[in-house]
Amino acid sequence: MKIIHTPRHLGHSGHVELNNGQIVPAFEKPERVAMILDAIGARGLGPLVEPTAHGLDPLLAVHDPAYVRFLAQAWELWTAEGRDTPALPSFWRAPGMRFIEPDAIDGKLGHFSFDAGCCIVAGTWDAVQAGADAALTGVDLLSGGERAAFALCRPPGHHAHAGTMGGYCFINNAAVAAQGLRDRGAARVAILDVDYHHGNGTQAIFYERGDVLVCNIHADPMQEFPYFLGYADETGAGAGEGFNANFPLPWGTDYEGWSAALEAACGRVNAFAPDALIVSLGVDTYKHDPISQFRLDSPDYVGIGRRIAALGLPTLFVMEGGYAVEAIGVNVANTLEGFEQ
Ligand code: SP5
Ligand code: ZN
């Protein structure tokens, strides 16, 4: 299958995050993509193709205009204050405070974020746009009749809401792609999110819609980030009632427990009979992931790919998380190989 990649992700580098009460180098770093490319090359997967530019309209189809404007201007506004350090939010509103976009960049950073996981540097916005273009190029490939494609997006996207960044995510690439497929004529699109963390942004964007089914398999938010969304009783609302499915699992879950949830999620996808499938592919379910607590092993990803292939749907894989750099390439390549077997 075609792998959509551009080196423009390299602009999002040298950033930091707040972890265990300390500012540390970000876990979400450029080496992740280098390792995936190495493994893809070693297996003869591919070919690699460059994303084509799709502009801002497809982003604005799922994101708020004020948020996209903020992302485009943030670095300029931050450096205008005389700073050259990475821009990290550290002020947020509490319930009872006003939902307002301040003029000050520090206020804007808080207004448009839900954690200190999204750090902005000079090349962040260009990398983010390139990632969204990769997802949209995947949409083009599926619309053109390809059975599958892999958008090697970096930074990831599934934590980003319509107007909020968080969890290393700025633009929700999977949501942009799902809407892109709808706009290209797909009546129903399913999103299967297998990242270790709940895809809160994707869920929120489609929560009141019946045309996009969102299924999430993830660490129980009672124990794990993003904490405030991803519970089993979140089933959709309004026209979207019944079109959101969460499968929260406890810390320590191994492939036996995880694959049972995958089976249930695949049942939901099948029943929905979508025209296309988007897989939010995170491999932070891996047993040695530095920030995660599941116990999947590298060979398990072959089984994941094979089970997803058995759905028999045009499938766009969109890269999300995975922070065990030494194994991320093997785990992603195993998934894609399992799919193609
Ligand atoms: C796309 C994606 O996978 N984003 C993940 C963002 C996770 N950010 C918060 C993680 C909190 C982890 N706490 C780890 C404690 C390690 N001792
Ligand atoms: Zn994750």
Q: What is the pLDDT of residues 188-197, one digit of tens each?
A: 999 999 999 9
**Which candidate, 186, 249, 199, places its Cα nearest to that of 222?**
249
Percent of the chain residues topping a pLDDT of 70:
100
Length of the chain: 341
Mean pLDDT of 307-316: 98
Q: What share of the chain has pLDDT > 90, as a percent?
A: 100
136-172: pLDDT as tens digits: 999 999 999 999 999 999 999 999 999 999 999 999 9
pLDDT at 231: 99
Question: Quick one: average pLDDT of 324-340?
Answer: 98
Q: How many CB atoms lie within 10 A of CB 57?
A: 8
Q: How far apart are CA 54 and CA 272, in angstroms?
A: 29
- Write the residue with the smallest CA distance to atom 4 of ligand 1: 167
Tens of pLDDT, residue by residue over 44-59, are 999 999 999 999 999 9
Q: Is residue 110 situated within a structural domain? A: no
d(C-alpha 1, C-alpha 281), whole Å: 15
Whether a cis peptide bond, with omega within 30° of 0, leads into 25 is no
Q: What is the DSSP string of 116-141?
A: S---B-TTHHHHHHHHHHHHHHHHHH
Backbone angles phi, psi at 119, to 5 degrees: -105, 135
Gap between the terminal Cα atoms of the chain: 12
Q: Does 208 map to a domain?
A: yes
Q: Which amino acid is at 11?
A: G
Give the pair of three-digit tokens for residue 204. Answer: 């929120």
Ligand 1, residue 282: give the atom nearest the CA: 3
CATH number at 249 reads 3.40.800.20
Q: What confidence score (pLDDT) does residue 328 get?
A: 98
Domain with 17 in it: 2-62+123-340
The best mutation among 9, 291, 292, 325 to test binding of ligand 1, ranked by most ligand atoms within 8 Å of the C-beta, falls on 291
Does 325 map to a domain? yes
Nearest atom in ligand 1 to 322's CA: 3
Structure tokens at 174: 């999977």
Average pLDDT in the 282-303 region?
Answer: 98
pLDDT of residue 76: 98
Check pocket membership of 284 for ligand 1, CB cut-off 6 A.
yes
Over range 124-145, report the average pLDDT: 98
- Residue-averaged pLDDT of the chain: 98
Q: Which residues of 112-143 are buried (b: 16+ CB within 10 A; e: fewer)?
A: bbbbbbbbbbbbbbbbbbbbbbbbbbbbbbbb
Ligand 2 mean position, distance from CA 319 (Å): 10
Peptide bond preceding 30 in cis form (omega within 30 of 0): no
pLDDT tens string 231-241: 999 999 999 99
- Asked if residue 252 belongs to a domain, the reply is yes
What pLDDT score was predicted for residue 198? 99
Residues with CB under 5 A from ligand 2 (ion): 195-197, 282, 284, 321
Pocket test for ligand 1, best of 9, 17, 19 (most atoms within 8 A of CB): 19
Tell me, yes or no, whether 115 lies in a domain: no
Domains in the chain, number: 1
Q: What would the mean pLDDT of 211-235 be, rounded to a whole number? A: 99
Ligand 2 centroid – CA 142 distance (Å): 25
Average pLDDT value for residue range 200-221: 99
Q: Is residue 118 part of a domain?
A: no
Nearest to 196 by CA among 231, 176, 224: 224
Cβ-based neighbour number of residue 56 at 10 Å: 15
Could you give the residue ranges of the DSSP H alpha helices within 144-184? Answer: 173-183
> Encoding tokens for residue 211?
């045309």
- Nearest CA residue ID for atom 13, ligand 1: 291
Choose the catalytic residue: 15, 159, 198, 218.
159
Report how far residue 169's alpha carbon sits from residue 165's, in angstroms, rounded to the nearest whole number. Answer: 6
Residue 328, token pair as written in the block: 């991320």
Residues ≥6 apart with Cβ < 8 Å to 237:
207, 208
What pLDDT sits at residue 279?
A: 99
Ligand 2 centroid, distance to 81 Cα (angstroms): 33
Amino acid at 205: I
| Confidence grade of residue 116 (pLDDT, cut at 50, 70, 90) | very high
How far lies 220's CA from each of 160, 213, 293, in Å? Answer: 19, 20, 11
- DSSP for residue 80: T
Place of tokens 């090697």: 152
- Is residue 86 domain-resident? no
- Please check whether residue 143 lies inside any domain of the structure: yes
Cα angle for residues 328, 113, 277 (degrees, 5° grid): 50
